[in-house]
Chains A and B, each alone.
Chain A
Amino acid sequence: MEKVIEIKHLNKSFGNNEVLRDVNFSVSKGEVVCLIGSSGSGKSTLLRCINLLETPTAGEIIYNGDNILDDQHDIKQYRTHLGMVFQQFNLFDNHNVLSNCVIGQQKVLKRSKEEAKRNAINYLSVVGMEKYVNAKPRQLSGGQKQRVAIARALSMDPEVMLFDEPTSALDPEMVGEVLKVMRKLADEGRTMLIVTHEMEFAREVSDRVVFMDKGVIVEEGPPAQVLVNPTQERTKEFLKRTLK
């Protein structure tokens, strides 16, 4: 399968705290990969390294054949190909729902206002938020905010979607609506890399599950293997703790 993102020997330290150690892994076109692991194991850092919100200490990040850590590489251009969804939504508070989804298309992709709006409305419909175009983020519930954040990322027409615990900051009754949207995207064949603690969801939607612990990838494979019959001791322990 065609690899969209390939990570080779990635290391990341904060001071002398080694957070990622020799991480090697890839995401192929159309693949849904779930990244699991206990808190502090480096999942967010890995995701943030992929779109360069953090600068890796060493290693390579290959996107469609190019090493984006080369000095020459246009980082802003690269980032438009990755849609990032954060745990805390991070909507632009001064923009309404529609404008949150339009601003990046206009300013970064230089699309016309009309085109950007049409595209935004289209994706807001996908997440079921098209009726709230005029609302400001502060007027929305957590689940609604996250759905808008997903639409904002989709509006940039990225090749890969990155999710960092998109439901962890939500009240339990709102988790479902966000997972539903993500399921829909997975069914459409989108390439997705998802950090999540929702094991049931991971088992259902992912093509591959990656288990991380203390900055290294311990085990990866199809969900039926990693989540049901893990081979590594650390994976077993983790699952025992979380599935309890």
Chain B
Amino acid sequence: MSLDIILSILEENWPSYLRGAYMTLVIAIISTIIGALIGLFIGVMHTIPHRKKSMKSVILKVFNFILTVYVEIFRGTPMIVQAMVVFYGLAAYGLELDRFVAALVVVGLNTGAYMAEYVRGGIASIDKGQYEAAEAIGMSHFQTMIHVILPQVFRNILPATGNQFIMNIKDSAVLSVISVTELFFTTKSIAGANFRFAESYIITCVIYLIMTLTATFLLRYIERKMDGKNAYKVEQKQSI
């Protein structure tokens, strides 16, 4: 094992590595967004007010039950198995998903199952007084969610979303079982051709690290930006 070999592998295969890394990133980004949206949707569904024993409450109960089943299934099974079931299982019923689409479905639904819990926790962590204050000035549940609760939930779940994104960068490697041409799958092809397994994968390792460290760094930056300045300016004149 030597640096020369690594460099020569890089020289020969860098476009493939780049394409693989690009695919990994695209899958991680899109599926994290999908997952966050699913999580927000589920979290908000749980907050919709309803009177006991009304029609609305029955519909909501059934709906929330289905959502809970989804969350438990995706949290309780390995993603590698989910990938096989979604891709080959659906194909058996005549629904042939594109591999890339299947990848987004699997990672997105998986992320959503975790995000649902974070969002629910994020909403629950906001003091009930703010809902009441919003209610007391006549805001609707929807307005309260949009203008008061969710902006705070976004901030609360940002670290968890970032973690999930980093997990998705790494865990998307399991998608190689359905031949999605992400970074790990690409490396397998490269190593399979040059038989330099250690060197080929060391490169991959470094690429993953660059991606995850950059993500961590960006996240911290965004969090700091969102928190804003700690000081405020006292207005001298009565103007805005």
Are A and B associated in one complex? yes
Instruction: Return B135 CB to nearest CB of chain A, in Å.
Output: 6
Q: How far is the CA of A104 from the CA of B134 in the complex (A)?
A: 8
Instruction: Return B148 CB to nearest CB of chain A, in Å.
Output: 5
- Judging by beta carbons under 8 Å apart, are B133 and A92 in contact? yes
Q: How far is the CA of A93 from the CA of B235 in the complex (A)?
A: 20
Known contacts A80-B138, A133-B240: A91-B152 contact under CB 8 Å: no
* B127 within 8 Å of A (CB atoms): yes
- Judging by beta carbons under 8 Å apart, are A139 and B133 in contact? no
Checking B132, B135, B137 against A156 with a beta-carbon cut-off of 8 angstroms, the contacting residue is: B137
Known contacts A93-B152, A94-B152: A86-B133 contact under CB 8 Å: yes
- Judging by beta carbons under 8 Å apart, are A125 and B132 in contact? no
Mask of A44-61 contacts with B, CB within 8 angstroms, 1/0: 000000010100000000
* A130 within 8 Å of B (CB atoms): yes
Q: How far is the CA of A117 from the CA of B143 in the complex (A)?
A: 19
Could you say which residues of chain B place their CB within 8 Å of the CB of A96?
Answer: 232
Mask of B222-236 contacts with A, CB within 8 angstroms, 1/0: 000000101111111
Write the chain B residue with the least CB distance to A106.
B147
- Judging by beta carbons under 8 Å apart, are B140 and A51 in contact? no
- Judging by beta carbons under 8 Å apart, are B238 and A104 in contact? no
**Restricting to B152-170, which residues have a CB under 8 Å from any CB of A?**
152, 155
- Judging by beta carbons under 8 Å apart, are A76 and B138 in contact? yes
Q: How far is the CA of A51 from the CA of B135 in the complex (A)?
A: 9
Q: How far is the CA of A90 from the CA of B127 in the complex (A)?
A: 8
Could you say which residues of chain A place their CB within 8 Å of the CB of B236?
Answer: 131
Instruction: Return B106 CB to nearest CB of chain A, in Å.
Output: 34
Write the chain A residue with the least CB distance to B143.
A107
Instruction: Return A88 CB to nearest CB of chain B, in Å.
Output: 5
Chain A residues bordering chain B, tally (CB within 8 A): 41
Could you say which residues of chain A place their CB within 8 Å of the CB of B228?
Answer: 136
Q: How far is the CA of A134 from the CA of B232 in the complex (A)?
A: 6
- Judging by beta carbons under 8 Å apart, are A92 and B130 in contact? yes
Could you say which residues of chain B place their CB within 8 Å of the CB of A94?
Answer: 148, 151-152, 155
Known contacts A53-B136, A88-B129, A90-B133: A139-B234 contact under CB 8 Å: no
- Judging by beta carbons under 8 Å apart, are A121 and B129 in contact? no
Q: How far is the CA of A96 from the CA of B162 in the complex (A)?
A: 26
Could you say which residues of chain A place their CB within 8 Å of the CB of B155?
Answer: 94
**Restricting to B87-109, which residues have a CB under 8 Å from any CB of A?**
none
Checking B127, B137, B151 against A153 with a beta-carbon cut-off of 8 angstroms, the contacting residue is: B137
- Judging by beta carbons under 8 Å apart, are B240 and A79 in contact? no
Could you say which residues of chain B place their CB within 8 Å of the CB of A51?
Answer: 136
Checking A82, A90, A139 against B129 with a beta-carbon cut-off of 8 angstroms, the contacting residue is: A90
- Judging by beta carbons under 8 Å apart, are B232 and A132 in contact? yes
Could you say which residues of chain B place their CB within 8 Å of the CB of A92?
Answer: 130, 133-134, 147-148
* A152 within 8 Å of B (CB atoms): yes
* A227 within 8 Å of B (CB atoms): no
- Judging by beta carbons under 8 Å apart, are B240 and A117 in contact? yes
Instruction: Return A194 CB to nearest CB of chain B, in Å.
Output: 16
Instruction: Return B223 CB to nearest CB of chain A, in Å.
Output: 15
Known contacts A90-B129, A134-B232: A108-B238 contact under CB 8 Å: no
Instruction: Return B230 CB to nearest CB of chain A, in Å.
Output: 8
- Judging by beta carbons under 8 Å apart, are B232 and A136 in contact? yes
Instruction: Return B220 CB to nearest CB of chain A, in Å.
Output: 20
* A135 within 8 Å of B (CB atoms): yes
Write the chain A residue with the least CB distance to B232.
A135
Could you say which residues of chain A place their CB within 8 Å of the CB of B213?
Answer: none
Known contacts A80-B137, A84-B136, A86-B133: A130-B235 contact under CB 8 Å: yes
Other contacts beyond A80-B137, A93-B126, A139-B231: 12, CB < 8 A? A82-B136, A88-B127, A92-B148, A94-B148, A95-B148, A104-B134, A109-B138, A117-B240, A121-B240, A131-B234, A153-B136, A153-B137
Instruction: List, sorted by A's number, 8 A–B pairs whose CB atoms are closer than 8 Å.
Output: A76-B140, A78-B138, A90-B129, A90-B130, A93-B152, A94-B155, A103-B148, A134-B235
Measured CB to CB, the residues of B under 8 A from A are 126-127, 129-130, 132-140, 143, 147-148, 151-152, 155, 228, 230-236, 238, 240
